[in-house]
Amino acid sequence: MELTFREILEISGGRLMQADNLEQKPVRFCIDSREVSHGDFFVPLPGVRTDGHNFLAEAALRGAIGCFVAAAAQVSLPPGMTVISVEDTLTAMQQVAAGHRERFSLPVIAVTGSNGKTTTKDLLAAALSVRGPVLHTQGNLNNHLGVPLMLSRLEKSHKAAVLEMGMRGFGEIDLLARLSRPDIAIVTNIGEAHLASMGSRENIARAKAEVLKYLPAEGAAILNGDEPLLVPYFGRLDCRLLTFGFSARATIRCAALTRQGAVYYIRLEQDGYARLQFASPLPGRHNVYNVMAAVAAARELGLADAEIVSGLSDVRPSGMRLEVTQLPQGWKVLNDAYNANPASMIAALRTFGEMADKAGKIAVLGDMLELGSYEEDGHRRVGLAAAQIGLKALIVVGERGRVLAAGAEEAGLPEAHIFPCRTPQEAAAMVSSLAGEGDWILLKGSRGMRMEQVLEELVKGERAT
């Protein structure tokens, strides 16, 4: 962090309770005492089960050199730490993170959308890394807690910052954009995630579009041109607009797409640029959209096409996103268990069908959560898609699996090939009883279903034999 304790005190509007060295600069913010490293600034937050103030001493022992404390908290101050009292520790962290971001003139790119935002973030960060270090969102640090934590990690060596922004309701993207002040914003698509709380896809589009009003006049909005719900926002921008998609009207468009096995070969066209042809660094047709968004942003930031293709070839996607694991049993597991909604589930199934090709295919699908009134229709549509890729077996996990199974049956998958399970552990046992040499297994479901536990059980079972 490029701020001294004195500057943190000033930006937060807090009161100094204890000082060690006000000219010292902490390394970063940390909100979990178990993850504190030497030089960190600990931010205790109230929790459902306990209060972060209970762990001040532990944070100090692990190397924290400073902390906030809430004015209303009754705490013992750990010796040797700089302690600043504030009205609200979360608000103070957000204010200071925003102040820290203002110290940098590097480009900040915000990435949001219902599906593909993490992959697009990974692709763009890989492309930009050819010019030097890029700060990019780690794990699930894409909310009101995570974005300030990421901003606190900005360093002088960084050439750009690519920040993922998630949301569960109105106002959340607004807050994240206000804190990070992006120069470029990417909206990947508008899906069906969080329909239970948002009510409609139109409302989801409104919430995602909150990022756009913070773009400067010299900035750029990069929007999915094939998404009708984003079209109304095209004319409301005070900055440059670029669209991406398969439509001939898109600014950057996929003019040709061919597939050999699971590999897609893309030809991109954009006025003012030479045609760009290369192999997509990630499997699946849906990832072509993510690649286009990353290329558009990288070009906007001045990278040459050769640099972009070179950077994309080194992409390392975040965990549990189309990760392939070869098991000693002779099976390949496609782990896409990070999260799920109908659009991402259908995309994963189609990609799974392409990657597994003529091998035996077992899909292990967990419930999709937070769909509200769209729950039954969403699960039924996924069942239809599952039946269309030639499954050897469909294993459904959770209460909503019966609807998914019904959709698959309606589409022609025999009932004898469908196996309902209550837990990932039960599903793993079912996989072990059904899978044969060379089979592929897909894992997909909402985050709350923890479908990666199926893989953990399969690995554990192999070690036990």
Q: Closest Cα partner for 8 from 50, 47, 43?
A: 43
* Distance, CA of 441 to CA of 217 (rounded, Å): 48
On whether residue 234 sits in a domain, the answer given is yes
Q: Are 314 and 300 in contact (CB under 8 A)?
A: no
The answer to whether residues 226 and 308 belong to one domain is yes
Residue 192: what pLDDT?
A: 86
Which residues, in sequence order, are CB contacts of 456 under 8 Å at separation 6+? none
CATH number of the domain residue 15 falls in: 3.40.1390.10
The answer to whether residues 410 and 304 belong to one domain is no
The answer to whether residues 183 and 292 belong to one domain is yes
More confident: 193 or 380: 380
On whether residue 429 sits in a domain, the answer given is yes
CA 424, 426, 429, 435 dihedral sign is: negative
* Distance, CA of 156 to CA of 168 (rounded, Å): 32
Q: Which domain holds residue 57?
A: 5-87
On whether residue 127 sits in a domain, the answer given is yes
**Is the pLDDT confidence value at 462 over 80?**
no
Binned at pLDDT 50, 70 and 90, residue 98 comes out as very high
Q: Are 33 and 58 in contact (CB under 8 A)?
A: yes
DSSP 435: -
- For residue 81, give both structure tokens: 């730490």
Q: H-helix or E-strand containing 92?
A: helix 89-101
Q: H-helix or E-strand containing 136?
A: strand 134-136
Amino acid at 253: R
Cα dist from 292 to 124, 251, 309, whole Å = 10, 10, 12
The answer to whether residues 79 and 150 belong to one domain is no
On whether residue 318 sits in a domain, the answer given is no
Please identify, among 278, 312, 346, the residue that sits at the C-terminal boundary of a domain: 312
CATH number of the domain residue 372 falls in: 3.90.190.20
* Average pLDDT score over residue span 6-22: 95
* Average pLDDT score over residue span 105-110: 97
Residue 262: what pLDDT?
A: 82
* Distance, CA of 90 to CA of 97 (rounded, Å): 11
Interval 312-338: pLDDT, tens: 999 988 888 999 999 999 999 999 999
Amino acid at 425: Q
The answer to whether residues 115 and 244 belong to one domain is yes
* Distance, CA of 251 to CA of 241 (rounded, Å): 9
- For residue 260, give both structure tokens: 């050999």
Task: Quote the number of domains for the chain.
Answer: 3
Question: How confident is the prediction for the chain on average, in pLDDT?
Answer: 95
Phi and psi, residue 96, nearest 5°: -70, -40
The answer to whether residues 78 and 146 belong to one domain is no
- Count the helices and strands in the chain (H runs, E runs): 15, 20
Nearest-10 crossing angle of helices 201-208, 172-180 = 20
Residues, the chain, total? 465
Residue 20: what pLDDT?
A: 83
The answer to whether residues 348 and 423 belong to one domain is yes
Residue 300: what pLDDT?
A: 97
The answer to whether residues 111 and 202 belong to one domain is yes
- For residue 460, give both structure tokens: 């554990």
The model's pTM = 0.92
Binned at pLDDT 50, 70 and 90, residue 463 comes out as low
Q: How far apart are the first and last CA of the chain?
A: 49
* Distance, CA of 176 to CA of 22 (rounded, Å): 28
On whether residue 307 sits in a domain, the answer given is yes
DSSP 51: B
Please identify, among 28, 58, 87, the residue that sits at the C-terminal boundary of a domain: 87
The answer to whether residues 171 and 300 belong to one domain is yes
The answer to whether residues 431 and 377 belong to one domain is yes
Conformation bin of residue 326: beta by default, left when phi > 0, alpha when psi is -120 to 50: beta
Q: Are 185 and 110 in contact (CB under 8 A)?
A: yes
On whether residue 29 sits in a domain, the answer given is yes
DSSP states along 296-361: HHHHHTT--HHHHHHHHTT--PPTTSSEEEE-TTS-EEEE-TT---HHHHHHHHHHHHHHHTTS-E
The answer to whether residues 144 and 246 belong to one domain is yes
DSSP states along 404-425: HHHHHHHTT--GGGEEEESSHH
* Distance, CA of 231 to CA of 223 (rounded, Å): 9
The answer to whether residues 164 and 239 belong to one domain is yes
On whether residue 98 sits in a domain, the answer given is no
Radius of gyration of the chain (CA): 24
- For residue 311, give both structure tokens: 């950077």
Interval 143-167: pLDDT, tens: 999 999 999 999 999 999 999 999 9
CATH number of the domain residue 279 falls in: 3.40.1190.10
Phi and psi, residue 38, nearest 5°: -60, 130
On whether residue 244 sits in a domain, the answer given is yes
Please identify, among 27, 62, 87, the residue that sits at the C-terminal boundary of a domain: 87
Residue 117's SS3 state is helix
Residue 185's SS3 state is strand
26-40, 212-226, 448-462: segment of lowest average pLDDT: 448-462
